[in-house]
Amino acid sequence: MNETNDSSSAETSSTVPFPTLTILYLPEEASDVIEEVGQKYCNITAEDCSGYFHDGVKRNYKKITIWSQGIDSLWFNAIIARIKDEAKVDQIPIVSGGIMYSV
């Protein structure tokens, strides 16, 4: 019985954690931030898209998907502030943990 428990705990400790998924919808005016995000997190994708996130007006965005083991919150807050400043918007739509919200 101990052998089974020992082997299952060994498997658990050697399991690689799944990466988390974070999506940023950057207004086109702040698309230069993509390079900085790519320098911090190497597993990203960038796609063109359009949406109605700001005041219901259709706008072009860059959908940035970041795969990582976790996002550095201090860095992330600084990037969000920079995006808001460059795009002259009050909120940035993001998806984290399967939930979409604006910051």
Q: Which residues of 7-26 are buried (b: 16+ CB within 10 A; e: fewer)?
A: eeeeeeeeeeeeeeebebbb
Tokens of 57: 């007006």
- Return phi, psi of residue 42, to 5°: -80, -20
**The CA-based dihedral angle spanning residues 7, 18, 97, 47, taken in that order and rounded to the nearest 10 degrees:** -170
Q: Which residues in 1-103 belong to E strands, given as ranges?
A: 20-27, 44-51, 59-68, 93-96, 99-102
Give Rg (Cα) of the chain. Answer: 18
**Residue 103 scores a pLDDT above 80:** yes
Read off the pLDDT band of 63 (50, 70, 90).
very high
Enumerate domains of the chain plus CATH numbers: 20-102 (3.30.70)
Kindly report the pTM of this predicted structure: 0.76
Average pLDDT of span 8-32: 75
Q: Per residue in 27-61, pLDDT tens?
A: 999 988 999 999 999 899 999 999 999 888 899 99
Question: Is residue 83 very low, low, confident or very high in pLDDT (cuts 50, 70, 90)?
Answer: very high
Residue of 42, 41, 60 lying closest to 50 (CA atoms): 60
